[in-house]
Chains A and B, each alone.
Chain A
């Protein structure tokens, strides 16, 4: 599965970067969401993908029975998902504020109005 996911992650990155290079700011937002998903999946895949063995310890046991999925990567991604939401909200509101002030949604026109 890792082989296939590697290509999916590649596609996600390629589209995300294509979108954040656009001049229309709304497309930039779309690119950010894609990028965040791409990064999470990259991390998830690189830790190895295991089917049907969540990192939970059965009741009464001290260690899980057999091999389980990597819990560390999951812990990292869990916070990354939530933070990704916070950052997205921040970016979206920032962009809208910039749009209101500059009255343009072309990134090239936002290049020197920050003074």
Chain B
């Protein structure tokens, strides 16, 4: 299982080499991996559909109870099959669609990495590893959206997607950690059956809101829906994979996964139900007036995500079964439609409904596939989309709360869905042909394989719904509900309210399509309004503000004057020290005593202080260097007198070398100058006194107070028995703390190499 998840990353590393070896067959070879994964997951089906589950755990960071543990149950298996199955076709498709593109190997690397991250996400049983995979999908998605990095629009869209999803990711991380702490475990399988304990906790509401923020941003729920259509700047295969079938469903997956633990309360129902319903209607409304092909598909994806969220919010057995059905139906038709959009672009060079028409004669297979997929989108007999839509309407009608509102939303969405489906199912194919943007070319089989297979599946599932239900969908719905659910999928339920609503929607939607141009004109006003006050505008204002703020604070803080940096740092540090001291003033003691000091020690201390003051006040370079020498040797004397012979020797030697250094360099620099005015000097002296005084007080407090036993006693006792050395300082340096010493000699080496570079490499940069 670990291999199944990680193989994507491993193979991704090989992709560029494979492309160098055999550019022609690289894509089909790479597609073998998702295909193999699909087969591997498929052979787990009997076990899962029998109600079993599979759990594997590897310790990762046991100290933080972070494990790489994976759980296969109905829900995760469904996602895993979708990811690997659609992934196979996408890799094949991308290999042809972008054939010969300079950066195709990079795209393959990213796609495979993304697939692996997505598999890890849906299979993870550990909250933390789930989050890690979650963020990996955000990052790979960022790189994929920005694939055409020379295009400023693509870069902006990539950044927008990243900010929105990673911002939500931050909230999600907090929420997941809270969930783990409240539930006492970071394993999903242990959390899911403690619903009552979790929901009774006082921090349940903030935790829920944080997790929802993560799921909503990822799954493009209102008001975060705007990043998804912009993400269409990615190459079409990427859009087909990430932004229809997989990544955006990560949020839905998380909600479905956590439903048994966090669901079934009024907050969950209201938030998810209403957000989902609003997203659903808004998405399909925007889709119905899009002219860009990918734009329309993106907005209809927003609709689907909203629908799924709403159904999870309802949380009834019926709603969850409908959710699973809708999810599968949507993945099948949306993956197919996106690839059809790619085929259309490949064949005609057109990405807009207004510039392509009447292609049915020249692209019969594509047209047929597109019509079937669009019918599934519209929810028409006998495709799987119809079953999903009927189940959705049925569960909305019987919603535990808000049933009337949600029914209205669902009906309107269904109506507009029909319009959007007709736009994509009719516009490009029928009517008088328009001249193509570039010379027409027939799409090869590698491009058509994906949409055809996915659409056939749509049709087959529609005609024989009992088969997918028994194999997997019932198990998936049960996993999401937390108990066994029997969806009872069937193509024909007799004449009932949902069927009548579907018929009504079909008629109204068709009417709207007939008046498509007027509908778009009529609703033009909403677009201008959204541009002015919509959520995307808010995002732009926020980002601009952030940039302005950082520019301002850079100007203020990074002013280029070393003095101000130092004063700011020192004063902040001093203020913090005194604040902390003020908060804990009771715990300080001072033992001020001068009685233990021998006369010569007074002389030493006096010399140090006097030399330091002299070094600061002298107006001569030589005087300052002499004062430094006096300080150095007096410090050495202090070390020797107070039981540190090694330090004494070192200090004397370094002092000698310092003199050599200063002779070689310092005296080639200009002499002392007095540049500051008197008030400035007085101010700096005050800063020095404050900081120095702080250190004095701190040192007095530290030497008089010992909170913990010194760890030195360990070194003292073990130096001879374990280190075979009688000089304890040396044993610490080369044995007990040798790693520290290694770091320190590395610093020394770096300083020397830096000096060397500055002296020797100057000749070149003068030239």
Contact = CB atoms under 8 A, between A and B. Distances in A.
Real binding pair: yes
Contacts of B688: 13-18, 21
A63 B716 contact: yes
A14 B762 CA distance: 36
A12 B669 contact: no
B717 interface: yes
A37 B612 CA distance: 10
Contact of A15 (B592, B613, B674, B676): B613
A64 B624 CA distance: 42
Contacts of A68: 643, 716, 728
Nearest to A7: B696
Nearest to B567: A21
A26 B516 CA distance: 78
Given A21-B567, A57-B726, A62-B720, A14 B693 contact: yes
A60 to B, nearest CB: 9
B490 interface: no
Interface stretch (B115-123, B268-276, B752-760): B752-760
A61 B647 CA distance: 24
B635 A6 contact: no
Interface string B718-750: 011100001111001100010011001001100
A62 B647 CA distance: 23
Contacts of A4: 594, 597, 601-602, 605
A89 B661 contact: yes
Interface residues of B, number: 100
B633 to A, nearest CB: 11
Interface string B586-624: 000001111011000110010011001101100001001
Contacts of A73: 712
Contact of A79 (B596, B624, B744): B744
A40 B646 CA distance: 14
Q: Pick from B563, B566, B602 the residue with the most CB of A within 10 Å.
A: B563
Contacts, number: 289
A64 to B, nearest CB: 6
Contacts of A5: 605, 699
Interface residues of A, number: 92
Interface in A31-59: 33-34, 37-38, 40-42, 44-59
B205 interface: no
A75 B755 contact: no
Contacts of B470: none
B657 interface: yes
Given A30-B615, A41-B638, A56-B726, A23 B594 contact: no
B35 to A, nearest CB: 54
B163 interface: no
B19 to A, nearest CB: 41
Contact of A26 (B646, B671, B693): B671
A77 B592 CA distance: 25
B628 interface: yes
A63 B720 contact: yes
Contact of A13 (B567, B631, B695): B695
A68 to B, nearest CB: 7
Nearest to A45: B699
A113 to B, nearest CB: 9
Contact of A3 (B625, B674, B700, B721): B700
A1 B758 CA distance: 43
Contact of A81 (B597, B645, B647): B647
B664 to A, nearest CB: 9
Contact of A53 (B593, B643, B661, B727): B643
Interface stretch (B43-51, B72-80, B309-317, B554-562): B554-562
A55 B647 CA distance: 12
B650 interface: yes
Contact of B747 (A63, A69, A86, A105): A86
Given A37-B631, A82-B748, A51 B643 contact: yes
Given A6-B695, A34-B615, A83-B744, 16 more contacts: A12-B608, A13-B692, A14-B689, A15-B616, A24-B673, A24-B675, A27-B672, A30-B616, A44-B639, A84-B654, A89-B661, A89-B755, A92-B665, A106-B675, A107-B562, A111-B559
Closest 8 CB pairs of A and B: A14-B692, A111-B560, A10-B696, A86-B751, A69-B643, A18-B688, A14-B688, A71-B728
9 contacts: A6-B700, A9-B695, A12-B692, A13-B688, A14-B685, A24-B670, A71-B732, A83-B747, A85-B661
